[in-house]
Amino acid sequence: MAKKGGYGMPNMNNLMKQAQKMQKQMEEASRELEETEIEGTAGGGVVTVKMNGKRDVISVKIDPEAVDPDDVEMLEDLIVAAVNEAGRKVEELSSSSMAKITGGFGGLGF
């Protein structure tokens, strides 16, 4: 009778159970991330963008002092910068959340 997982190989049933557990944890973390609100700011806080974990923009707040009819381009740039900052924060949060679950297996498709 052959040993389960012979030659120092892990038991395949245990690997499958661990993979299923990891998948459930990843799905739960993904749901939590989608509900999380992230803020990005620009211009020292004159423009604030709130984004959820799905990268949907929830709100944009603009300090009235930032509104200069003669310099709309500056306001547009501030909005873009705030959206990009919020997007980077979502990506960082997502990566760190998944890294906690997958450990060193992230590159293996888990």
Q: State the average pLDDT over residues 76-104.
A: 88
Quickly state the pLDDT bin for 8 (edges 50, 70, 90): low
pLDDT above 60: residue 5: no
- What secondary structure does DSSP assign to 57-98, as a single string? EEEEEE-GGG--TT-HHHHHHHHHHHHHHHHHHHHHHHHHHH
| Interval 24-74: pLDDT, tens | 888 888 888 888 899 999 999 999 999 998 889 999 999 998 889 999 999
Half-sphere exposure of 49 (CA within 13 A, CB side): 26
Highest mean pLDDT among 2-6, 9-13, 32-36, 68-72: 68-72
Determine the pLDDT at residue 110. Answer: 44
Kindly report the average pLDDT of the chain as a whole number: 83
Q: State the average pLDDT over residues 81-103.
A: 88
60: left (phi over 0), alpha (psi -120 to 50) or beta: beta
pLDDT above 90: residue 96: no
